[in-house]
Amino acid sequence: MAENKRIYLDFNATAPLRPIAIEKIVTAHELIGNPSSVHAEGRAARAAITEARDTVARLVGGQVRNVVFTASGTEAANLVLTPAIESAGSAGPLTRLVVSAGEHPCVLRGHRFAASAVEILPLDGQGRIDLGALEALLGGGGRVMLALQAANNETGVVQPVAEAAAMVHAEGGVVVCDAVQFFGRAPCRLEALGADFLILSSHKLGGPKGAGALVAASPSHRIAAPLARGGGQEFGLRAGTENVAAIAGFGAAAAQACAEVETERFRLAGLRNALLEEVRAAAPEAVVFGVGAGRLPNTLCFAIPGVGAETLVIGLDLAGVAVSSGAACSSGKVARSHVLMAMGVAPDLAGSAVRLSLGWSSSVEDALGFGEALRRVLAPIRRARSAAA
């Protein structure tokens, strides 16, 4: 590994800015008008937002008027995960929220349902939801909202969203899909997923931090309780002057990511396999999670028995490689993964789990450099074990 050249393998936490996004951000920062103003300067700012809204709507197969920009995927989750959803021709109010045990913290803790109304959907040993358990929950009465990731941020495991959505819709329920890790990494269309709402985030695919979106499949479901009230921006659902530069950068990054999704899927899968080879070479005893399920091509989650996640994450960081353990939204702490625990992974092994995630700027050199760094980090651990044996 070249001296002072760091290797970044944490794209599921955030991706480096794409050059096209930087260009859009710089251009948008030069727009001086408030996008709610009617003069030429305001209309220019509004046009930048409209362009991004058009782009996001087109990419997911939605309608422009159903795209609401937020400050993050977390804010989008907090906005939509509410019983205050008015549905045309519905059989009554939403009374229950069903969430999978592996959801991101913004879904597990960011909802506006009463705690007594929330039910957890279990995962199998590969990290997929149990559709039989979902069927049983749907038979419990009341109208259900299901919150389900398209793909898990820690393991990369892809969920059967379309199958689950068909089951929920048959009972008159609503489906919210966290597509933050999926969008720009796999084909992400509302119709194919069957979701009523999609949660998206800019910085996972090479756009700027500070922008996300909530996309509704149709206007038949209306959120009756916005999080922030004020000037009526974003169709009255997200008051406050829009972050024009972040939204413009989001649209540009999303367009490029989705245009390249097919070629990138193959390239990233090859790089992930190269990372796995390096892990196996350095630690043949390593356990890889989710290999029996469909996974995103960019994600590898593994554990080396007896080597704590904190030891490995810090050791690799000092060796010039950025990796993570669990979700990056956990205040920077290295903690045991709730996702792996829900999969039935033993606590000690779950406490050793490390995630590698790739993206648009990743290279073969990164994979080889990671392998070199991993061997360097493990060498003193191996020596200490041998001396103690």
Question: Which active-site residues does the annotation give?
Answer: 329
Strands 321-322 and 7-8: parallel
How many whole angstroms separate alpha carbon 241 and alpha carbon 155? 36
Count the Cβ atoms, other than its own, within 10 Å of residue 374: 25
Non-local (6+) Cβ contacts of 66 within 8 A are 57, 215, 216, 217, 218, 219
Task: Provide the CB-side half-sphere exposure for 123 (13 A, CA).
Answer: 27
- CA end-to-end distance (rounded Å), the chain: 32
Between the alpha carbon of residue 343 and those of residues 121, 269, 296, the distances in Å are 11, 23, 18
Q: What is the DSSP secondary structure assignment for residue 159, as one 8-state letter?
A: P
Structure letter (DSSP) for residue 115: G
- Give me the torsion for CA of 239, 243, 248, 250, rounded to 10°: -80
Secondary structure (3-state) at 267: helix
**What does each C-alpha distance from 84 to 79, 131, 155, 224, 358 come to in angstroms?**
10, 26, 32, 5, 38
